[in-house]
Amino acid sequence: MVAFVFPGQGSQAVGMGQDLYAAFPAARAVFDAVDDALGQKLSALMFAGDIQELTRTQNVQPAIMAVGIAVVRALESETGKGIAELCHVAAGHSLGEYTALCAAGAMDVAAAARLLRARGLAMAQAAEQNPGGMAVVLGLSLDQAREAARAASAVGEICVVANDNAPGQVVLSGHPSAIARAAELCRSLGAKRALALNVSGAFHSELMQPAADAFCPALTQAKLHAPRVPVVSNVTAAEETDVGKIKGLLATQMTSPVRWTESVQFMMRRGVKKYVECGHGSVMKSMISRIDPSADIVCLSDAQSVAAYLAK
């Protein structure tokens, strides 16, 4: 079985998607549709813009989605096959779940772009309202990281596990002082590294509740359809196909941890042997290979890698 997987924030770079735009008309249509939906030449920012402007969460979220969908549309166009013929299940990390849903036909590109713009703006505003941070912890178990986060929390200050990315790779989120205490505790427990991340907020924690509240109206009004292939939810680490439940989980996702290790383990139990990472970079390959060392993982991030995959 084959899974299509899609990255989240952190995979961006200036120039991403540009050769896809040039090589595949179906990919070009994706970038044009995103530009039209947002009323902004986001593609110009992606291809030759300023990295700081691109990295602003309201820009980077639809941008990363656009590259992932451009890869999928190129595959569909060049093979003449639909998504259900190309893969059996889809999943994405944080915002990547929206890309997975779009790839699976649950929403069109314009709707995904508008939702991710609204999501990014809500997250940015929540980060200003509730300042926070995140830290990556390497070399500890999930239980050890959870215990450090719990011990570092105090009255009025929280620290929680935000991402369970892979065995030995956990991301914490919360108030900056609590994050600093947790990082120190993790180092005392034997963590190889416990480093603050250069992010603007405490994502996937309760500090994002204002973002979830602000984003819900856009999510409620969005037109979603049953996906053509099951999409694994970050919140449940299981495949979901009911539109109403998917909308509720997308709202919950903003304040809940990304259960990526469990998501990949779920796909393993479903019989997935091959993962196709659609989007810039190879972040997903790094995580999946630590969860399932036997997995066959292909990264499709540019025109050359897509052409090589099509030639097989």
The catalytic residue among 93, 175, 204, 280 is 204
**Cα 14 to chain centroid, rounded:** 18
Which residue out of 94, 173, 233, 282 is catalytically annotated?
94
To the query of whether residue 177 is one of the catalytic residues in this protein, the response is: no
Give the integer Cα–Cα distance in Å for 5 and 297.
10
Selection from 286, 271, 289 nearest residue 88 by Cα: 271
- Residue pair 76/103 in contact by the 8 Å Cβ criterion: no
173 is catalytic: no
Place of tokens 């956990």: 170
Strands in the chain per DSSP E: 2-6, 89-92, 133-138, 159-166, 169-174, 193-196, 231-232, 239-240, 274-278, 296-300
Given a contact cutoff of 8 angstroms between Cβ atoms, the answer to whether 66 and 46 are in contact is yes
Residues labelled as active-site residues = 94, 204
